Chain A
Amino acid sequence: MPSILRPCLVSFVLLSGLTGVLYPAAVTGVAQAAFPSKANGSLILQDGKLAGSSLLGQPFADSKYFWGRPSATGPFPYNAGSSSASNLGPSNPALVDAVKGRIAALRAADPGNDAPVPVDLVTTSASGLDPHVSPAAARYQIGRVAKARRLDEAKVRALVDSKVEGPELGLFGEPRVNVLALNRALDELR
């Protein structure tokens, strides 16, 4: 028994020091020196104030903004202090009702637009903070946004097209549009 006590306690203390103190501290040191913006959350500064992160989505419900994906965070959508998902099963009637409600809201905000609704625009994301929508979901909203802002549709469409990002390195992931970046650019459009 005594023969096990020393290696057990000492290895625990030393390994904790190495992996729980030195290692995170060293990673932080290198990260803050080499990639300060990214290590701190890719935050957006505007007039000296924080205006979100380029990696996190924000809630949008006004017709004059592009809407992002529905968010299941509480107590308000896109709560960046409490990520979470709906965890609704595929056959849950609550999922069907929620999707119906979101389709109705989209149609009510944009009467006359009978195009099929892109699925990502009416289903919640995994994190509740998804910053992106599919290019189809952004294009679906062009008419509504242009009308609400009294802008030429072609101008809004050009802006959306300029904000479409392709798969990374042409290979990984999906084409997408960062909704916050799009809406910020929209506010600057005259």
Chain B
Amino acid sequence: MTGRDGLQIGLYLVALLALAWPLGTYMARVYEGKDTFLSRALGPVERLFFRAMGVRADDDTTWKDYAFAAIAFNALGFFFVYALQRLQGVLPLNPQHLPGVAPELAFNTASSFTTNTNWQSYGGETTLGYLVQALALTVQNFVSAATGMAVLVALIRGFVRKESSTIGCFWVDLVRGTVHVLVPLSFVFAIVLVACGVVQTWSPYAASSLLEGTTDAEGRIGESLVALGPAASQVAIKNLGTNGGGFFNANSAHPFENPTALSNFLVMLSILVLPAALCHTFGAMVGDKRQGWALLATMLALFLPLLAVCLWQEGAPNPSLAGLGLDHASNMEGKEVRFGIASSALYATVTTAASNGSVNAMHDSFSPLGGLVPMWLMQLGEIVFGGVGSGLYGMLMFAIIAVFVAGLMVGRTPEYLGKKIEAYEMKMASLTVLVPAATVLVGTAIAVSCSAGRAGVANPGPHGFSEILYAFSSAGNNNGSAFGGLGAGSVFYTTALGIAMWLARFWIMVPVLALAGGLAKKKMIPASAGTLPTHRPLFVAMLTFVVVVVGALTFIPALALGPVVEHLMQHG
């Protein structure tokens, strides 16, 4: 790593924290229904939506109604995305005349985009026409992110309200998040991306001559078709909404999706800015900004050491290529020259800390431990920043577990933000930790035990196991990045991973809402001398420790069979 790399990373962190603060404050105002500087322009749009939908801005529902609305809305989205893909062949705006998508792939992609996972079994430019990209994928990029933020806000209300049976209205939160936050941010960012060189056009692919030409099995090739499309509008929200499904097959490694190192820097910022900002939104809404800072500090405490490992491992030469006559030989397989090592390792860490999952380098070709970092970040439960909304509600579940553990140590009833944490809360919080972990481990176990699962492996030895473990870690935590060699297009993987994504999304979301409903009903207990302060460094350390211990105990045995063995074999 050079001094310039260090400077870039430092600048990244400063810019992230500087942007997150005002944005988080803005979002708190949006969700509390207060006026903002955009109210004059966007207020009428919001009111038009509400009137047409038959809801009122002050509607308030129980957690069950809230959860039911969220599930119904996402189910509708799923069927729409599925249908649009299947019917693609007869629908307009498909200049390449791509055929309808096969049922298993359409199921997988529809699950993937409605659960904010955006796992990419589809091939981008070779599978999906412009209509599906815009009206199915781009829409879900927005609304799945808005759903995550809405559920987070409902949970925050659970902490804030006293003896209340309601936690807000899903429809109001959904519309506010989309109209006031995601659409304006994405619009501005999409234009910036085009200025960097990201394509945005409805024209068909362009045939372009090649200077020298090449050959394939059929003979000489003097011309290549250049894939185009409305990419910038999708790439903007793909990153801001921690979605990550690429417009093109190569995702953010494609020069039309991520043309320069500057666009790369801005994309990395856009991936973490909303999850970081939501920490401040949380602090503002619970009326104690320090609580938000404490969670943000915990996320950074987990993020920075893992980033260092990834940078160090990718910058080192690949020992398998030693002695072949290469120069310094950092691990450039599957990376782009304009990004090099530092921007690729930073991107990999950022995209898996958040549940984004877009890639600017191929994680399958990372060094064993360099690839372990993104894998473990996902396995921690996508809570180190995590998905927009979902990352922070996941981290809040760990905060509840941390105060519970602390309470056990001193023999006091644990409380968090003035709410007593009792058996019901612990059951719900435990579910949100156990369900994804079980999905990942059981899914991997099934895949390696059956021939359909093993058939998908592209690389021999322990790396093949890593491919499977990575796939279930990604789907089971709604990340969406992949060790791309895995033949994930098979019926087995499209189906198994599609199911894993649903489990991970809704078996966390529903317990979180149930917990929110339970918390809202409780009395507020005033802080006393015996209350554990949850904004101090001690609590940050405690929370970090709980996350690491749970993540390590659950996954080290599996990681040992994949990346750790491969590392030892390479260096043995």
Question: Across the interface, do A90 and B318 meet the contact criterion of CB distance under 8 Å?
Answer: yes
The chain B residue with its CB closest to the CB of A26 is B187
Question: Across the interface, do B262 and A168 meet the contact criterion of CB distance under 8 Å?
Answer: yes
Per-position 1/0 for B357-389, Cβ under 8 A of A: 001111011111000000000000000000000
Which residues of B467-493 are within 8 A (CB) of A? 483-485
The chain B residue with its CB closest to the CB of A65 is B212
Interchain nearest-CB distance for A143 vs B (Å): 16
Question: Across the interface, do A90 and B331 meet the contact criterion of CB distance under 8 Å?
Answer: yes
Q: A7-B54, A23-B187, A40-B228 are in contact. Are A173 and B138 (CB under 8 A)?
A: no
Question: Across the interface, do B249 and A118 meet the contact criterion of CB distance under 8 Å?
Answer: no
A77 contact from B77, B198, B214, B569, Cβ within 8 A: B214
Question: Across the interface, do B72 and A174 meet the contact criterion of CB distance under 8 Å?
Answer: no
Question: Across the interface, do B187 and A103 meet the contact criterion of CB distance under 8 Å?
Answer: no
The chain A residue with its CB closest to the CB of B169 is A7
The chain A residue with its CB closest to the CB of B77 is A12
| Residues of A contacting B262 in the complex (Cβ-Cβ under 8 angstroms) | 168-169, 172-173
Question: Across the interface, do A39 and B194 meet the contact criterion of CB distance under 8 Å?
Answer: yes
Q: A123-B333, A127-B255, A172-B265 are in contact. Are A40 and B201 (CB under 8 A)?
A: yes
Which residues of B305-347 are within 8 A (CB) of A? 317-318, 320-321, 324-340, 343
- A61 in contact (CB, < 8 A): yes
| Residues of A contacting B248 in the complex (Cβ-Cβ under 8 angstroms) | 83, 127
Question: Across the interface, do A75 and B362 meet the contact criterion of CB distance under 8 Å?
Answer: no
Question: Across the interface, do B214 and A78 meet the contact criterion of CB distance under 8 Å?
Answer: yes
| Residues of B contacting A141 in the complex (Cβ-Cβ under 8 angstroms) | none
| Residues of A contacting B178 in the complex (Cβ-Cβ under 8 angstroms) | 15, 18-19
B326 contact from A21, A69, A119, Cβ within 8 A: A119
| Residues of A contacting B485 in the complex (Cβ-Cβ under 8 angstroms) | 87-89
Among the 9-residue stretches B202-210, B390-398, B430-438, the one with 4 or more Cβ atoms under 8 Å from chain A is: B202-210
B142 contact from A19, A51, A78, Cβ within 8 A: A19
Interchain nearest-CB distance for B32 vs A (Å): 20
Question: Across the interface, do B73 and A8 meet the contact criterion of CB distance under 8 Å?
Answer: yes
The chain A residue with its CB closest to the CB of B214 is A59
Question: Across the interface, do A58 and B210 meet the contact criterion of CB distance under 8 Å?
Answer: yes
Q: How far is the CA of A96 from the CA of B327 in the complex (A)?
A: 15
The chain A residue with its CB closest to the CB of B69 is A4
| Residues of A contacting B207 in the complex (Cβ-Cβ under 8 angstroms) | 50
Question: Across the interface, do A55 and B197 meet the contact criterion of CB distance under 8 Å?
Answer: yes
B335 contact from A24, A30, A51, A125, Cβ within 8 A: A125
- A156 in contact (CB, < 8 A): no
Question: Across the interface, do B201 and A28 meet the contact criterion of CB distance under 8 Å?
Answer: yes
Per-position 1/0 for A8-29, Cβ under 8 A of B: 1111101110111101101110
Q: A23-B186, A167-B261 are in contact. Are A81 and B125 (CB under 8 A)?
A: yes
Question: Across the interface, do A87 and B362 meet the contact criterion of CB distance under 8 Å?
Answer: yes
Q: How far is the CA of A14 from the CA of B306 in the complex (A)?
A: 42
- A92 in contact (CB, < 8 A): yes
| Residues of A contacting B198 in the complex (Cβ-Cβ under 8 angstroms) | 38
- B139 in contact (CB, < 8 A): yes
Question: Across the interface, do A126 and B224 meet the contact criterion of CB distance under 8 Å?
Answer: no
| Residues of B contacting A91 in the complex (Cβ-Cβ under 8 angstroms) | 320, 368, 459, 461, 463, 566, 569-570
Interchain nearest-CB distance for B267 vs A (Å): 12
Question: Across the interface, do A59 and B205 meet the contact criterion of CB distance under 8 Å?
Answer: no
- B151 in contact (CB, < 8 A): no
B232 contact from A31, A81, A83, A132, Cβ within 8 A: A31
Q: How far is the CA of A83 from the CA of B484 in the complex (A)?
A: 13
| Residues of B contacting A43 in the complex (Cβ-Cβ under 8 angstroms) | 206, 208, 226
Question: Across the interface, do B320 and A174 meet the contact criterion of CB distance under 8 Å?
Answer: no
Which residues of B181-204 are within 8 A (CB) of A? 182-183, 186-187, 190-191, 194-203
Question: Across the interface, do A8 and B359 meet the contact criterion of CB distance under 8 Å?
Answer: no
Question: Across the interface, do A128 and B209 meet the contact criterion of CB distance under 8 Å?
Answer: no
Q: How far is the CA of A46 from the CA of B320 in the complex (A)?
A: 44
Q: How far is the CA of A102 from the CA of B566 in the complex (A)?
A: 25
The chain B residue with its CB closest to the CB of A53 is B226
The chain A residue with its CB closest to the CB of B328 is A119
Which residues of A86-109 are within 8 A (CB) of B? 86-93, 95-96, 99-100, 103
- A56 in contact (CB, < 8 A): yes
- B43 in contact (CB, < 8 A): no
| Residues of B contacting A18 in the complex (Cβ-Cβ under 8 angstroms) | 45, 178-179, 183
| Residues of B contacting A116 in the complex (Cβ-Cβ under 8 angstroms) | 325-327
Question: Across the interface, do A27 and B190 meet the contact criterion of CB distance under 8 Å?
Answer: yes
Interchain nearest-CB distance for B273 vs A (Å): 17
The chain B residue with its CB closest to the CB of A30 is B191
Question: Across the interface, do A174 and B214 meet the contact criterion of CB distance under 8 Å?
Answer: no
Q: How far is the CA of A84 from the CA of B127 in the complex (A)?
A: 13
The chain B residue with its CB closest to the CB of A81 is B225
The chain B residue with its CB closest to the CB of A36 is B201
Question: Across the interface, do A11 and B365 meet the contact criterion of CB distance under 8 Å?
Answer: no
Q: How far is the CA of A168 from the CA of B440 in the complex (A)?
A: 40
Q: A78-B214, A87-B483, A167-B4 are in contact. Are A176 and B337 (CB under 8 A)?
A: yes
Question: Across the interface, do B197 and A173 meet the contact criterion of CB distance under 8 Å?
Answer: no
A123 contact from B191, B212, B214, B332, Cβ within 8 A: B332
| Residues of B contacting A85 in the complex (Cβ-Cβ under 8 angstroms) | 250, 253, 334, 362, 364-365, 484
Q: A89-B485, A126-B335, A172-B264 are in contact. Are A80 and B325 (CB under 8 A)?
A: no
A58 contact from B136, B212, B361, Cβ within 8 A: B212
Question: Across the interface, do B212 and A62 meet the contact criterion of CB distance under 8 Å?
Answer: yes
- A158 in contact (CB, < 8 A): no
Q: How far is the CA of A137 from the CA of B148 in the complex (A)?
A: 46
Interchain nearest-CB distance for B544 vs A (Å): 30
Question: Across the interface, do B199 and A39 meet the contact criterion of CB distance under 8 Å?
Answer: yes
9 contacts between A and B (CB under 8 A): A18-B179, A27-B230, A38-B197, A53-B208, A79-B225, A81-B125, A90-B463, A120-B337, A130-B336
- Across chains A and B, which 9 residue pairs bring their CB atoms closest together, nearest first? A173-B261, A126-B253, A87-B485, A174-B340, A83-B250, A89-B463, A89-B459, A172-B261, A127-B250
* Given A27-B233, A59-B210, 7 new contacts (CB under 8 A): A35-B195, A38-B196, A41-B226, A85-B253, A88-B334, A99-B324, A124-B333
